[in-house]
């Protein structure tokens, strides 16, 4: 048996109840509005402002409240169902062993290593040195291409967006 947290989140049951509560308010509001109009039609001319007419105003308020509650609850329920899959995926992807920043890098070797810039091949994604004319893996030409400043991927010169990361070249 699966609970509300497994189906769509911790508030799924609350939003379902709110949705049906809004529907109940809507139905009661419509009934009160109809009841007030029937009361006006069947009343004698001297008693136009009787108790039946007064029930129409709360009926209108209930109709609007019921619609608003149903709309908000439906949207929240839909968003929660969409987000629940992402939440489970993100929980599963977190590593159990956390690495401290000091363990990631060997700071002694940092001074001796050169900072090299590279260019990604547009065909095979191999990292090549910046001055290279052809890819060292597939031999594709690296000249005459547009370099993305974000992902270092080469693109065709007439493209507006990077095909790897989607960066807009015209926004620079």
The pLDDT tens digits of the residues spanning 48-79 come to 566 667 778 888 899 999 999 889 888 888 87
Same domain, 38 and 88: yes
Which phi-psi region, left, alpha or beta, contains residue 82 (left: φ > 0; alpha: ψ -120 to 50)? Answer: alpha
Q: What is the CA radius of gyration of the chain?
A: 33
Instruction: Quote the mean pLDDT of the chain.
Output: 73
pTM, two decimal places: 0.41
Same domain, 121 and 86: no
Same domain, 88 and 8: yes
CB 50 within 8 A of CB 39: yes
Instruction: Give domain status of residue 158, yes or no.
Output: yes
First to last CA, the chain: 54
Distance CA(157)–CA(140), nearest Å, equals 15
Distance CA(122)–CA(156), nearest Å, equals 8
pLDDT, mean of each 10-residue run, the chain (172 residues): 50 84 91 81 64 78 90 84 58 54 56 63 78 82 76 79 82 64
What is the 8-class DSSP label of residue 160? S
Largest CA distance in the chain: 101
Same domain, 66 and 131: no
Same domain, 87 and 120: no
- The domain boundary, picked from 61, 93, 125, lies at 93
Long-range contacts of residues 160-169, Cβ cutoff 8 Å, at least 24 apart:
163/122, 164/120
Same domain, 63 and 119: no
Per-residue pLDDT at 7: 54
Same domain, 14 and 60: yes
Instruction: Give domain status of residue 108, yes or no.
Output: no
CB 164 within 8 A of CB 148: yes
Which residue has 């960066």 as its token pair?
167
Instruction: Give domain status of residue 42, yes or no.
Output: yes
Instruction: Give domain status of residue 99, yes or no.
Output: no
CB 60 within 8 A of CB 33: yes
Per-residue pLDDT at 28: 92
Helical (H) or strand (E) element with 22: helix 12-42
Q: Which domain holds residue 124?
A: 114-172
Same domain, 89 and 122: no
Same domain, 154 and 73: no
Number of domains in the chain: 2
Distance CA(118)–CA(152), nearest Å, equals 7
């Amino acid at each position: 048996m699966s609970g509300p947290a497994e189906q769509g989140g911790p508030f799924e049951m609350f939003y379902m109840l709110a949705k049906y509560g809004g529907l109940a308010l809507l139905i009661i509001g419509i009934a009160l509005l109809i009841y007030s109009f029937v009361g006006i039609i069947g009343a004698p001319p001297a008693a136009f402002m009787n108790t039946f007419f007064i029930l129409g105003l709360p009926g209108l308020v209930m109709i609007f409240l019921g619609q608003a509650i149903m709309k908000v609850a439906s949207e929240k329920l839909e968003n929660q169902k969409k987000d629940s899959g992402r939440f489970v995926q993100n929980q599963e992807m977190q590593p159990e062993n956390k690495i401290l920043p000091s363990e990631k890098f060997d700071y002694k070797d940092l001074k001796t290593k050169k900072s090299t810039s590279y260019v990604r091949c547009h065909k095979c994604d191999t990292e090549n040195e910046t001055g290279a004319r052809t890819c060292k893996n597939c031999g594709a030409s690296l000249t005459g291409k547009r370099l993305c400043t974000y992902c270092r991927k080469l693109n065709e010169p007439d493209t507006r967006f990077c095909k790897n990361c989607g960066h807009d070249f015209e926004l620079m």
